[in-house]
Amino acid sequence: MKRKTGLDLLRTFAILFVVGVHFFYHTDFYRVPVAGKNMIVQVALKWLFTMCVPLFMLLTGYLQTEKRPDSKYFKKLIPILGVYLFYSILSIIMRITYLNESKSILSWIKAILIFDADKYSWYINMYIGLFLLTPFLNMIHKGLNSAKDYKIFLFILVLLTGFPAFFNSLSAQTSVFKALSFSDWWTKIYPVTYYFIGAYIKKYPVKVNKLLASISLGFVILLQTILTVFYSYNKIFVNVIGDYGSILIVAGAVLFFLIFYDIEIKNKHISRLLGTISVLSLDIYLCSYISDKLVYVFVMKNIFKSQQQIMLYSVFIIMASFLIAFVISYLRCKAVRLKPIQNSKIYKTISQ
């Protein structure tokens, strides 16, 4: 089956955004007042990059709708767990030798089992559950036989997950929005919301005016930035937008997805590069914890002066971490493969 370059492009953006959003975690972004143009730009970039995980979830929904609950499908979890175990062990080695952490063997084993050895592996913890549920979610997907019924279903999911995630965060900061508080009981199932949005786009292909969608996306990020700056100005960052399940982040991620998912890239070299990054995206995601530590420990000791000044180096810092993770990921796949990477089981598991 011919690879869809638009999906490879989306996955490339998603993994770059993952590395990008961690820039704010590893620097002083959350510890300095939000004031001045530089910090406002950083707030906008933070919300742009926060679409990273939602994009992966949308891609999962888009690509997994034909999966059935059979042994062939469930066996595909094994290589994913193998990748996770590899980077967990590599992370432990890094934490012992580079970060000088000292723990017992049992403590390190426990860290692997609770997805804490590699600090970014919470995503694997979530994905295992989504992976196991996928064939059964697909039964719901196939049972929704009209676009109207599907839209009602999606609205209910967003109502249960997206609205509370946003409005409850906002209402916590001001009494004006107290009346807009929602029950947050169902907010944690937001991965399911993203899954079904991606599945809907696969079942009922959505075509958008890309210019209008881009303007709308810019408006969403602008709104997120204005709200954040309004409540955070001259104070430490206040999250009034919410987490990945927030309706504003859902809106931004879906718009971004629709802008790029059906793009066709004819250039063979670019499409090959995007395909390679796409294949390695899970590796890069997990390895970026290691590369981030290598890069940011050095940066914060030798380059960092202020959050405003470090922003000037952000592109180089983010790309350094990404390239280190990419090289390690590529070497790992080259070392374990028995067939060309495009035909390997890991390739098929990650890219389909």
pLDDT band at 231 (very low <50, low <70, confident <90, very high): very high
Residue 346 scores a pLDDT above 80: no
Residue 337 scores a pLDDT above 80: no
Q: How many CA atoms lie within 13 A of 189 on its CB side?
A: 15
Q: Is the dihedral of CA 342, 51, 161, 220 positive or negative?
A: negative
Residue 175 scores a pLDDT above 70: no
User: By the 8 A CB rule, do 138 and 70 touch?
Assistant: no
Confidence (pLDDT) at 341? 41
H-type helices in the chain, by residue range?
5-26, 36-49, 52-63, 71-74, 77-97, 105-113, 122-143, 147-171, 190-203, 210-232, 247-260, 268-279, 281-302, 307-310, 314-336, 345-351
Percent of all residues in the chain with a pLDDT value above 90, rounded to a whole number = 87
pLDDT band at 236 (very low <50, low <70, confident <90, very high): very high
Q: What mean pLDDT is predicted for residues 165-171? A: 88
Confidence (pLDDT) at 352? 44
The pair of structure tokens assigned to 318 is 């983010």
pLDDT band at 173 (very low <50, low <70, confident <90, very high): confident
Widest CA span in the chain = 61
Residue 342 scores a pLDDT above 90: no
Q: What mean pLDDT is predicted for residues 278-300? A: 96
Confidence (pLDDT) at 180? 65
pLDDT band at 174 (very low <50, low <70, confident <90, very high): confident
What distance, in Å, lies between the first and last C-alpha atoms of the chain? 10
Residue 345 scores a pLDDT above 60: no
Q: What mean pLDDT is predicted for residues 173-186? A: 74
- Backbone phi, then psi, for 241, in 5-degree steps? -90, -35
User: By the 8 A CB rule, do 245 and 190 touch?
Assistant: yes
Confidence (pLDDT) at 343? 44
Q: Which pTM was predicted?
A: 0.93
Residue 129 CA, chain-centre distance (Å), reads: 16
Residue 171 scores a pLDDT above 90: no
Confidence (pLDDT) at 305? 86
